[in-house]
Amino acid sequence: MKDKFKILYVDDEVSNLRIFKDSFRRDFEVILAESGNEALKLMEEHTVDVVITDQRMPYMTGVELLREIHERYPDIPPHRLIISGYSKNSDIERAFESYKLFKFISKPWRYAELKQIILDAVEKRIY
């Protein structure tokens, strides 16, 4: 049985975290974080394959989290970072250019669509 890919999902709404984990627990190993800081701490303990984060969070937005990740792990392979949120804005555009953002997904997301995006992101590593 092959090892499942590790996904780190960051959102400030507990319900979102629960639903995400329940949706994808069969497909991936899901680690949850309620804030940007918690996410960074978890990344020190686990080697994560993909990071998906909500944009609109208090204390540290999704883009700010990506910037932190970029600074701490500058040689993270590209296409590993995904943001979900209500709408794109200039911050998110910048994240595409500067912080190796792979994709932006708008909420609400659909299970099948998000699964495919995650697989795309992960499998790019093998090539």
Least gap, CB of 81 to another protein (angstroms): 19
Near another protein in 46-105, by CB under 8 A: 56-58, 61, 86
What is the DSSP track for 45-70?
HS--SEEEEES--SSS-HHHHHHHHH
Least gap, CB of 105 to another protein (angstroms): 11
Question: What are the residues whose beta carbons fall under 8 Å from the beta carbon of 114, sequence distance 6 or more?
Answer: 24, 105
Least gap, CB of 11 to another protein (angstroms): 9
For position 20 contacting another protein by CB under 8 A, the verdict is yes
**Upper half-sphere CA count for residue 61 (Cβ side, 13 Å):** 12
What is the DSSP track for 11-33?
-S-HHHHHHHHHHHTTTSEEEEE
* Assigned token pair, 123: 């499998």
Query: Would you say 76 or 109 has its CB closer to another protein?
Result: 109
Query: Would you say 58 or 74 has its CB closer to another protein?
Result: 58
With CB under 8 A as the contact rule, the residue among 23, 38, 76, 104 that binds another protein is 23
List residues near another protein by CB under 8 A.
13, 15-16, 18-20, 22-23, 25-26, 56-58, 61, 86, 107-111
